[in-house]
Structure 1
């Protein structure tokens, strides 16, 4: 398979995903929606261009792949099947490849594409401190003067913090009143 096809399908991926999220399975037949962001509309145009070039069984296969991917966006197999349908169409139609390349924004040479997908996911080319969850804190993060070694763990207490005082807030020694 041509490297150019693989790169084009990878470049189109985020646009197609946005289109499926915005338009659902109707992405192939719905008109462009001004209320939908530009990314989703580019993805809709990519899918429609492929769909319009296909006929018969190939068109039916693409429609089914689009529906499956729209029904379960977290299903990697459904997304892979859709990408495979797009690759097949591109291998068979060199003009379609030029058309899709013209629809997609130009990628600067040496650029990096980073995609985060899923609940609470994060992505970056480089990450200093990343904290996710409901009770995260950056108080001991290196950027705040702390170190990764004493960053809070679950429960909010540094995992290796020195124990300097075991006296509860009420003043009673931890080992009982007679421990004084």
Structure 2
């Protein structure tokens, strides 16, 4: 499998999982919702693009896999199933690879999620010095 396909699948995976988690099996046929989360909306567009490029049997298979992923409680399992499906779709379709590459943000671009948890925890994307706790004096110039 080409590195390009692996990279596309890795980039698209979170979007697919978010779309299936948000919309379930209806992700393939529902109209875009302007108020929907941007991540789920992009995942929906990716899945619909793959779905439109398939014939009747291919569409039925995609619907079945998406339906199973939507019913699955384990998000990592759903992500693996959707990634495998996308890899197969991309493997023999250079036009689809180009179309999805144009949809996806460049690697490393996009939003950053930072989580701080617990008493006195801090969260920052870029930071010089961070001192937490009691009894610390500010740094002297």
List gaps (5 residues or longer) in structure 1.
116-122, 125-129, 147-180
> Which stretch of structure 1 is more off in the superposition, 69-78 or 24-33?
69-78
Correspondences of 1:15-94 after superposition (within 5 Å): 15-94=15-94
* Runs (4+) off by over 4 Å: 111-115
- Structure 1 residue 52, shift from structure 2 partner: 0.9
C-alpha separation in 1, matches of 2:11 and 2:111: 8
C-alpha separation in 1, matches of 2:93 and 2:6: 14
Q: Is residue 139 of structure 2 the alignment partner of residue 144 of structure 1?
A: no
List gaps (5 residues or longer) in structure 2.
122-130, 136-141
C-alpha separation in 2, matches of 1:52 and 1:112: 26
C-alpha separation in 2, matches of 1:75 and 1:107: 22
- Could you say which structure has the greater relative contact order, defined with CA pairs below 8 angstroms and 6 or more residues apart? 2
CA contact (8 A) 1:65 1:81 kept: yes
Q: Which has the higher helix share?
A: 2
- Structure 1 residue 73, shift from structure 2 partner: 4.6
Aligned partner of 2:105 in structure 1 is 105
- Structure 1 residue 80, shift from structure 2 partner: 1.5
Q: Which has the larger radius of gyration?
A: 1
CA contact (8 A) 1:25 1:67 kept: yes
Tell me the secondary structure at the aligned position of residue 144 of structure 1: coil
**TM-score normalized by structure 2?**
0.75
CA contact (8 A) 1:61 1:85 kept: no
